[in-house]
Structure 1
Amino acid sequence: MSAPANTAQPRRALVVVDVQNDYDGGNLAIQHPPFRDSVVNVARAMDAAAEAGVKVVVIKQMAPETSPIFAKGSHGGELHPEIAGRSRDHYVEKTLPSAFTGTDLEAWLRANAIDTIAVVGYMTHNCDLSTIIHAVHMGFAVEFLSDASGSVPYANSAGYASAEDIHRVVTIILQSRFAAVLKTAEWVDCLKTGALPERDTIFASNQRALARNAA
């Protein structure tokens, strides 16, 4: 159950997921990493992609007018100004967590010979996670910029988890199988140097944890 091999020279697209105003102090305010920090990294990734000739896809979550979040026609549902004001090569509206479900994203990526997607945006544990797993199942390699994303806390019948816990655990899980997890600055360096980000496996990740616990 090892990670899919990355290509020697990946043909990347940057997929910018749901960077909308409700996450910026609105009805679903991102807590960790803080939105004010992570959105700067989203913008940095978009600028670096444009400079490197990497295509940029912007995704927007859609919801009915009565929804408490991302309501159609609401300020909270609109793209954040940092993203809305930047150039993009493709735009996708979605109604479910994965950016692939019910959209033309897969067809557009394949038409542009993309084999690797770099995911930024919100939320780490919901739409990012869903999009990443979906992409892997379709044969794409994935990169995830952990400081250009974020989470919120949850409490429900299953228990409580802080935003920091959720974000940290999901990034560890992603690195173990589904994506190469790295910081925005590291990703920008990869674009400039051609270096490939580190990938891992379930087995190796587990073995390290067992060795750590035994120490």
Structure 2
Amino acid sequence: MARRTSDSPPLFEIIAKPDFSFERSAMRDGHAPVAGMDEAGRGPLAGPVVAAAVILNPRRIPKGLDDSKRLTFAQRETLFDEILAKAEAVSMASVSAEGIDSVNILRASLEAMRRAICGLHIKPKMALADGRDVPPGLPCLGRALVKGDQRSQSIAAASIVAKVMRDRMMCGCGRADQRYGFEIHMGYATERHRSAIEIHGAVPRLHRASFAPFRIAAEAEIEVEALV
């Protein structure tokens, strides 16, 4: 008698690693080369959103590619160098805090990814995007993959490049203005960052005025002025 397959949930979450299957499938359909694209910095209160696009060399894929959030600082730095050395093409782009405020973070993120794809010196025929949305205006076919940085090695590579570049930019901001500790929290809403904002206020063109707490504070000031 055949043993029945259990329908019980696994005791431990099985964490999948990204592979090259989506890319190979697209290549078999005639859509080579294939680029992966991803962004870093959608959630912080300060700094740009940075995107990267990467066309991997199928014969020289760096080992250990994964979602940048699942890697350590040292692993990201090592893989960043490997990606730049081994990939067929790499491009980076960003949208500033002012640009984010003028549209919204989703549109700014998609625009940064579009710019990164357009900046590749090799034109891809297919671009794989992390998330649910394909950036509008791509010069090639596009496909969105939910949790793509954990499924596609090309997207994972792009996530690493975007994360490393944005972190380096925020460290530069920290050196330029030491009051906020940008080199520690990278612009995210940590207790230290919020405390610094309460003491020193927002930095023009660096903090995102459309994000809370800045938007809430601005709305409160308008209400007070209306009552005067």
Query: What's the TM-score once normalised by structure 2's chain length?
Result: 0.26
Structure number having the greater strand percentage: 1
* TM-score using structure 1 length: 0.27
State the structure with more CA Rg: 2
